[in-house]
């Protein structure tokens, strides 16, 4: 059923919206028509820009009827679809799920898996959540209206409870509307892993296969921060129930005493890159053998493989982002890493009397002239898959910028996203599968959505009393051609609960 728009009606034959005209001259006016023509304003408490975007959606619809899909916006020609999606992102619907406190505040990832059952291969959606307390939970995700979990599934997943969704946005007169949640989640009775330290990352092993019609992940990589510098790597088997978590011991010259801040897997699923307090290392997932491809006295807080699998982008505690070529490795014994003295532009502006150094040392196969500098410590780093030369990064002073790696020598960002608030928290932002929208929580407990292309802040809402520290989009990774990816929603994790933005 088409959504109702004030002042418009939908013609099923022409498949278009048309404006509701006034009464026919000479006809007797009725009370219902007077009500439609002069509706009483609803006292909705929301930001001014949200009110403007609601009116904008109606204007866009009217403009499309006159001009077609290419409509004029701010003296420029834009796509009706893009503009209407911005209007949708400006007024999100949010649900909070009960019984999910303290389980998804450190890492969150949704997977689509195929599990062998008595009826054959069955496709299921799961949400893997990691907490700062070291708890790893696997939650089942289903669409509203689907058949609930049967007894056999409940037994296979160690019993559990269905997490009741509660609508928290939008609010009218400080009262939340009652609506049906588009997603339901079910939580097992106990966690699948209770580590000694915080879960630092959850990554899929392997990527989307274009030869198949679906994205199916069989394994996932789990890393823990480490207690007293003892980070760990675990492999999660997603192809069978109950799910099995096994430890992968580190071998080679990668110290088992290091702190593991982050990790990522290459597209083939054969190796993982881990960011530690000693640098960044490449680990063979089958054998556990590994060696460092970047040595630094500054911790590697964020990293990501380039799509080619030959380069790893590393974000450091001191704010530097270095792109490391890993193709000239490994040898037996491993080749010595090249030493580089990197000038820190932020430190060079300090008075000559200070004792702080203007240079820092990096060891690895990098190009010093292509090092990017953020104002403070890196919190998150991602590359765009549709434009693999674009790199987005955030730092602990609230800065979020988009860089074109072909222009980094100029030191100027392509786009800056204003409004983010952060001072000390490692917050992970999220990019939707179509790569049109950026979402992130903030230290002020607000969740914000930006347009990646224009940098426009589309919405900011506070529905959590704790920091929404992790974001993962609901749509399956690799399916970037899905229409209206914004409506597939995103999952947010905080200490208070897990939220779904739709």
Residue 56 confidence (pLDDT): 61
Q: What angle do CA 424, 408, 415 make, to 5 degrees?
A: 60
Q: Locate tokens 């493989």: which residue?
A: 305
Quick one: 149 exposed, middle or buried, by C-beta within 10 A (0-12, 13-18, 19+)? middle
* Contact in structure between 187 and 100 (CB atoms under 8 Å): yes
Q: Locate tokens 């404006």: which residue?
A: 19
% the chain with pLDDT above 90: 50
- Cis status of the peptide bond prior to 170, with omega within 30 of 0: yes
392-427 pLDDT tens trace: 999 999 999 999 988 877 668 999 999 999 999 999
- The enclosing H or E element of 204 equals strand 199-205
Residue 332 confidence (pLDDT): 57
Q: Name the nearest CA neighbour of 382 among 321, 442, 443.
A: 321
The CATH code of the domain at 94-501 is 2.130.10.10
Number of helices (H), then strands (E), belonging to the chain: the values are 5, 40
CA distance 377 to 381: 11
Residue 351 confidence (pLDDT): 40
Residue 188 confidence (pLDDT): 87
CA distances from 64 to 267, 458, 467 (A): 41, 21, 39
* Contact in structure between 282 and 290 (CB atoms under 8 Å): yes
Confidence grade of residue 31 (pLDDT, cut at 50, 70, 90): very low
Residue 255 confidence (pLDDT): 81
Q: Residue 90: pLDDT above 90?
A: no
Tell me the mean pLDDT in the region 252-269.
Answer: 91
CA distance 242 to 190: 12
Residue 352 confidence (pLDDT): 44
Residue 71 confidence (pLDDT): 59
Total Cβ atoms within 10 A of residue 502: 18
Q: Residue 294: pLDDT above 90?
A: yes
Q: Residue 375: pLDDT above 80?
A: yes
Q: Provide CATH 2.130.10.10 ranges for the chain.
A: 94-501
pTM for the structure as a whole: 0.81
* Contact in structure between 234 and 246 (CB atoms under 8 Å): yes
Do β-strands 107-117 and 94-97 pair in parallel, antiparallel, or remain unpaired?
unpaired
Q: Residue 6: pLDDT above 70?
A: no
* C-alpha 300: how far from chain center: 19
Question: Which three-class secondary structure state does DSSP give residue 339?
Answer: strand
Residue 214 confidence (pLDDT): 47
Confidence grade of residue 158 (pLDDT, cut at 50, 70, 90): low
Tell me the mean pLDDT in the region 238-253.
Answer: 87
Residue 5 confidence (pLDDT): 64
Residue 479 confidence (pLDDT): 47
Q: Name the nearest CA neighbour of 107 among 187, 203, 196.
A: 203
Residue 401 confidence (pLDDT): 96
Average pLDDT, whole number, for the chain? 80
Lowest mean pLDDT among 30-39, 79-88, 316-325: 30-39
187-228 pLDDT tens trace: 988 889 999 999 999 999 976 544 444 456 889 999 999 987
* Contact in structure between 496 and 490 (CB atoms under 8 Å): no
Tell me the mean pLDDT in the region 152-174.
Answer: 72
169-179 pLDDT tens trace: 887 666 666 67
CA distance 255 to 291: 9
Residue 113 confidence (pLDDT): 86
- The enclosing H or E element of 34 equals helix 31-37
% the chain with pLDDT above 70: 72
444: alpha, beta or left? (left if phi > 0; alpha if psi -120 to 50)? alpha
* Contact in structure between 440 and 399 (CB atoms under 8 Å): no
98-137 pLDDT tens trace: 999 999 999 999 998 887 777 778 888 899 999 999 999 9
CA distance 190 to 211: 37
CA distances from 51 to 80, 146, 458 (A): 19, 34, 11
CA distance 428 to 491: 12
Residue 198 confidence (pLDDT): 96
Confidence grade of residue 28 (pLDDT, cut at 50, 70, 90): very low
Confidence grade of residue 43 (pLDDT, cut at 50, 70, 90): very low
One DSSP character per residue, 51-118 reads HHHHHHHHHHHHHHHHH-SEEEETTEEEEHHHHHHHHHHHS--EEEETT-TTSSSSEEEEEEEEEEET
């Amino acid at each position: 059923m088409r959504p109702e728009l004030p002042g418009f009606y939908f013609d099923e034959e022409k498949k278009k919206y048309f404006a509701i005209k006034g009464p026919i001259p000479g006809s007797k006016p009725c009370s219902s028509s007077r009500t439609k023509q002069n509706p009483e304003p609803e006292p909705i408490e929301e930001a001014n820009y949200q009110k403007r975007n609601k009116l904008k959606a109606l204007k866009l619809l009217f403009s499309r009827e006159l001009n077609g899909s290419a409509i004029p916006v701010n003296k420029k020609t834009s796509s009706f679809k893009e503009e209407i999606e911005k209007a949708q992102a400006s007024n999100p619907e949010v649900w909070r799920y009960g019984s999910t406190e303290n389980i998804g505040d450190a890492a969150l990832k949704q997977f689509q898996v195929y599990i062998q059952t008595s009826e054959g291969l069955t496709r299921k959606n799961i949400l893997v959540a990691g907490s700062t307390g070291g708890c790893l939970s696997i939650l089942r995700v289903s669409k509203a209206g689907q058949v609930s979990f049967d007894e056999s599934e409940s037994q296979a997943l160690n019993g559990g409870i269905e997490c009741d969704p509660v609508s928290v946005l939008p609010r009218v007169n400080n009262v939340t509307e009652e609506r049906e949640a588009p997603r339901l989640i079910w939580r097992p009775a106990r966690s699948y892993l209770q580590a000694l330290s915080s879960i630092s990352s959850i990554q899929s092993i392997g990527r989307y296969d274009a030869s198949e019609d679906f994205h199916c992940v069989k394994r996932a990589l789990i890393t823990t921060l480490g207690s007293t510098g003892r980070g760990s790597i675990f492999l999660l088997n997603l192809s069978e129930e109950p799910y099995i978590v096994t430890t992968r011991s580190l071998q080679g010259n990668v110290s088992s005493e290091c702190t593991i801040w982050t990790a990522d897997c290459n597209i083939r699923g054969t190796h993982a890159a881990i960011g530690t307090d000693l640098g960044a290392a490449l680990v063979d997932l089958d054998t556990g053998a590994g060696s460092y491809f970047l040595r630094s006295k500054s911790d590697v807080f964020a990293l990501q493989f380039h799509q080619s699998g030959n380069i790893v982008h590393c974000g450091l505690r001191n704010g530097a982002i270095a792109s490391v070529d890993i193709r000239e490795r490994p040898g037996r014994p491993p080749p010595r890493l090249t030493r580089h003295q990197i000038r820190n532009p932020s430190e060079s502006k300090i008075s000559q009397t200070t004792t702080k150094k203007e240079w820092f040392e990096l060891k690895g196969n990098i190009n010093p002239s292509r090092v990017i500098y953020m104002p403070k410590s890196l919190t998150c780093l991602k590359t765009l898959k549709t434009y693999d030369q674009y790199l987005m990064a955030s730092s602990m002073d609230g800065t979020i910028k988009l860089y074109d790696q072909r222009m980094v020598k100029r030191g100027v960002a392509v786009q800056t996203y204003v409004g983010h608030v952060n001072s000390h928290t490692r917050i992970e932002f999220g990019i939707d599968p179509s790569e049109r929208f950026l979402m992130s929580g903030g230290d002020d407990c607000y969740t914000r959505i930006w347009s990646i292309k224009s940098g426009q802040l589309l919405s900011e809402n506070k529905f959590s009393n704790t920091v929404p520290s992790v974001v993962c989009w609901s749509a399956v990774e690799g399916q970037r051609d899905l229409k209206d990816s914004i409506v597939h929603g995103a999952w947010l994790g905080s200490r208070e609960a897990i939220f779904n933005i739709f």
